[in-house]
Amino acid sequence: MKSFDKKLVLIILIVVFSVTAFFYGFDRPQAPQNPPDPEVTLSMDRFFFGDDDRSGVRNEAGNLLLSIIKSSGNGTGAGEAVAEEEKEVVDLFVKIADTQELMTRGLQGVESLTAEMEGMLFVYPSDADSFFWMKDMTIPLSIAFISTDGIILEIIDMPICDEKPCPLYRPDVLYRYALEVEKGWFDKHKISPGDEIVLPNE
């Protein structure tokens, strides 16, 4: 083989390897590259709802109680003014993903979500723009991206991936938390952007 041909073959191999790594080398989701700073990492031990202290509310599986305050009352439209006593609260138990390993694994291998664990809350040490995808997932999901102060910014449905490469999902704004549940769960409970997640105390 001529020297020119060898160089051409080498270039082609490098291009093929790079393209393959680009499309199939992503983790799900991207986790912070550096270990979270213990000074800014959230404590996952305390949940609060007004004066109702829900410290350490866990079920037998060890999953934590999370609450969502519906700012729109009975689902009549996000952002409408609703009297405090008329606000609805939806509770669910979630698994916490606050390490790179847990974030990368996500809900992979989970075949169903039940009342024992209705979702997973991803906790970032600071505002993030990481993407999510559905590689190796067996159930369709919906994901809510949440601000530092607990407001739902955007909700995206993520169907099971049946194409390659799998689509990537993330909002157009930075977020601090992401809540994954079974697809349609937010619609079922009439939860929409503007509603508030009850978050751990920093």
Residue type, 8: L
Report helix, strand or coil for 36: coil
Categorize the per-residue pLDDT at 32 as very low, low, confident or very high, splitting at 50, 70 and 90.
Answer: very low
Categorize the per-residue pLDDT at 54 as very low, low, confident or very high, splitting at 50, 70 and 90.
Answer: very low
| Structural domain harbouring 23 | 3-198
The H helix count followed by the E strand count for the chain is 3, 9
What is the reported pLDDT for 18?
56
CA 32 to CA 124: how far, in whole Å?
8
Report helix, strand or coil for 73: coil
Q: What is the CATH number of the domain that holds 118?
A: 2.60.120.1140
CA 113 to CA 96: how far, in whole Å?
14
Proportion of the chain above pLDDT 70, given as a percent: 63
Burial class (CB within 10 angstroms; exposed 0-12, middle 13-18, buried 19+) of 18: exposed
Q: Is the pLDDT of residue 47 over 90?
A: no
What is the reported pLDDT for 64?
87
**Tally of domains in the chain:** 1
Q: Using an 8 Å Cβ cutoff, are 199 and 57 in contact?
A: no
pTM > 0.85: no
Quick: pLDDT tens for 99-158.
Answer: 999 998 889 888 889 888 999 999 999 999 999 999 989 999 999 999 999 999 999 999
CA 32 to CA 130: how far, in whole Å?
9
What is the reported pLDDT for 202?
41
The residue written with tokens 């769960």 in the block is 185
